[in-house]
Structure formats: structure tokens, C-alpha cells
Amino acid sequence: MPSFRCKLATTDGRVIEKTLIGDNRSALKEHLEQEGHFVLEVRRVEQGFRVFRWRGSRKRFKSKDFITFNQELGVLIRAGLPVLSALDAIIEKIGEGELTDILREIRDDIASGSSLSEAFGRFAHVFSNLYIANLQAGEKSANIPLALTRHISYLKKLEEIKQKVIAASIYPLILTVASFFALLFLLLYVVPTFTRTYFEAGTQLPRLTMMLVNFSNGIKSHSVLLVFVLLGVLASFLYVRRTEEGRMGLDRWKLAIPFLGNVYLHYSVSKLARTMATVLRGGVPLVDCVRIASGTLNNKYLRREFEGAIALIEQGEGFSEALSRSRIFPPLAVRMIDAGESAGSLEQVLDDMAEFYEDDVDSRLTILTSAIEPALMIIMGLLIGFIVLAMYLPIFQMAGTIS
């Protein structure tokens, strides 16, 4: 995330400056104004080109750093250290970086009388509502280390699923890219070389070979136009993706893709269930719990459907009944939640549901990977085989004529 230098006016007439982290200038300014600050200026701190930042560069705020911070904070508080002393020790250890800048601000807020959750809540543009809710639950139960442990387990589980998805995508992606460049090499170098040899020898080319030669010549002669067309398609996609209606349509289309749509839906449901189980375990009311959990849904269409269920819950309907009105959530998930509500064990059922859908995503990804790899190899083999056959066909034809 970028850093911003903020100039703020206080109620007693003083002007203070702070360096804060945020997604963008407008979001950070809006957040500060909601806190009651009078914002005079928000200026982005330029970091320079990353290529030239190898020497003395600042550490980035990564999810791994955040998990480590929570582990250390929980251990130090459990050992009996006050929160301020624990933060001082962690800040001194991790050195300079985005996380350190935020922790210094949080440490100052706590020293001024804020609670831990209030101090982190002032950085709601950086930390999730789930994390802040867990801290609030830990403060209410006087057991912050337990709340941190639960959140760490939640983050690790999500990271594990994310890594599985990435791992399942790497080999097919590499194979696809390698195949694309191999075909380009054959069409733009090998085919013209053979064609030139045949023309110099005065060989009459078969129809199949002529089709390939014309296709190769078309790519070479219109290469600039093709590049501009591809760039135009990419720019159009990025523009549509930035609009509200376009993003909604794309997210709905993702869920409609055969097989992959179900994988994406089940991944989202598992993350939703895992979030709700974590928040409920901290003693947060159900309405607040579902509102916090909706923030974990990156799919706008799915979030809109879930927010419709939230509105029904606020009107007094049960959680499972509200979800059953949705056209997108799996019926099995709705039945499991209904059973959990009836038995008074919703928290445990949500945990079981998260495990079930995580296992389902894992098995589907395994099937998908094992099917995609041979399919790509077969397609690649057929395309290269076609090119080789088309280029050697004139030689076979000449050999048949001579014999």
C-alpha cells in the first residue's frame, strides 16, 4: 500500500502531520474525516521506482509479517507484558517498514488512552473488520491472546487454500505460455524458412501447406494490427472491469463457468463460513457477524446476494431461511446452517461447513489439474503435428512423384 503524508487540524487550533498507509488518497481522506479530523492536505509520499530501491529499501507490509506480528503480540501479552511494552518490543525488532509506521501510530493512540481495538479501528482502511471484531471480543473476555490465536488460525487456513489454488494454476499456465511461444516460433520462423526453400525449388505446394503458409503470412503482415487489436481488447476489459455494472457482470459470469464456477463458489462459501465461525466464537451477535463476513466476499454479485440475506435477517428472519431465498448459495450449505440453528450449534456447523467446502475445492482442483495437463499436451501435440505434417507434405509428394 502507498504511504501518504497527512496534515490535520486539531480542535485546539494545532496543525499536526502524520504518515499513514491507505489504498488511495480519497479513501484515506474520507476515513480521517469520519474520525472527526479536519483534513488540510493528503499528499502521497513518492517511493521512487522499485528498480532503484534495492539499497536501503523499506520492508513491505505482507500478510506473513502480519501473522508473525500477531503471534509475537499474543506470546508477549500471555507472558504478562503490558500491551504498550509488547508493542515497543515488536517495533524495535521488526525495524522500518509500513507495518512499523502503523504500529507506532497505534502505540501512540494506546498511550493516549485508547483501547487496542480502538487504536486498530482507526486504521480500518488497512485492517479488516474481522480482525478488529476479534480484538473487541478478546477485550470483552479479557483474553486478547486467545482472540489473536483464533485470528492467526483463520489467516493460516485462508493462506493454505490460496496457496493450493496458486499451485494448481502454475503448471497449466506455464504450459500454455510455452505452447503459445512455440507455435509463434513455428509460424513466424520455421514455416517461412520451409516456404522459401520450396518456392526457390519451384515446388507446387499442396492445399494444406498453402493454407498454413497463407495463415503464417497473414500473421506476419498484420502483426502490428494484431498487437493493437489485442491491446484494445485488454483496455476494453480493464475499463469494463472498473465500472460497477461491468464488474457485476464479470463476477456473475465467473460463477456461470462450467466446473470452474462451482470451484469459485465453494471457495467463497468456505471463506464465508470460516469467517463467521471465527467471529461467532468471539461472542459477536449474528447480525454483526454476517455483516463482517460479507466483507470477505470479493465477488460483487455474490456479495449483493448475501447482503440481501442480511437485510432479511435484520427484519427478523432466520439465517438459513434468509439464505434459502438466494438463487446462488448451495442448498447443502443452507441445510447445514438450518441444522446448526435448530441444534443451537451454529458455530460448530459453520466450522464443519468450512472444512467440507475446503476439501471439496481441494479435490476439484486436483481433478482439474490432472485433466488440464494432458488436455493441453494433446492440443499442443495436435497443433505442432499439423504444422509439421503441412510443411513436410511437399517432400512426401515429391518422393511419391519420383517413385
Position 235 confidence tier, pLDDT thresholds 50, 70, 90: very high
Whether the CB-CB separation of 272 and 302 falls below 8 Å is answered with no
Cell reading at 51 = 528498480
- pLDDT greater than 60 at residue 193: yes
Distance CA 265, CA 65 (A): 29
Give the ranges where 47-143 is alpha helix by DSSP (H). 63-78, 83-94, 98-111, 116-121, 129-140
What are the pLDDT digits (tens) for 49-106? 333 333 333 344 677 888 888 899 999 999 888 888 999 899 888 877 778 888 888 8
Structural fold of domain 157-403: Receptor-associated Protein (1.20.81)
Main-chain dihedrals φ then ψ at residue 17, nearest 5 degrees = -125, 140
Could you give the residue range(s) of every CATH 3.10.20 domain in the chain? 3-49
Distances (CA, A) of 175 to 42, 162, 258, 388: 46, 21, 22, 20
Render the burial of 54-92: b for 16+ CB within 10 Å, e for the rest.
eeeeeeebeeebbebbbebbbebbeeeeebeebbbebbe
- pLDDT greater than 80 at residue 201: no
The per-residue pLDDT for 52 is 32
Task: Give the three-class secondary structure for 38.
Answer: strand
Our measurement of the distance from residue 362's CA atom to the centroid of its chain's CA atoms, rounded to an integer in Å, reads 17
By DSSP bridging, strand 3-9 and strand 15-21 are antiparallel
Could you give the residue range(s) of every CATH 1.20.81.30 domain in the chain? 157-403
**Which CATH architecture does the domain made up of 3-49 adopt?**
Roll (3.10)
Length of the chain, in residues: 403
The per-residue pLDDT for 57 is 38
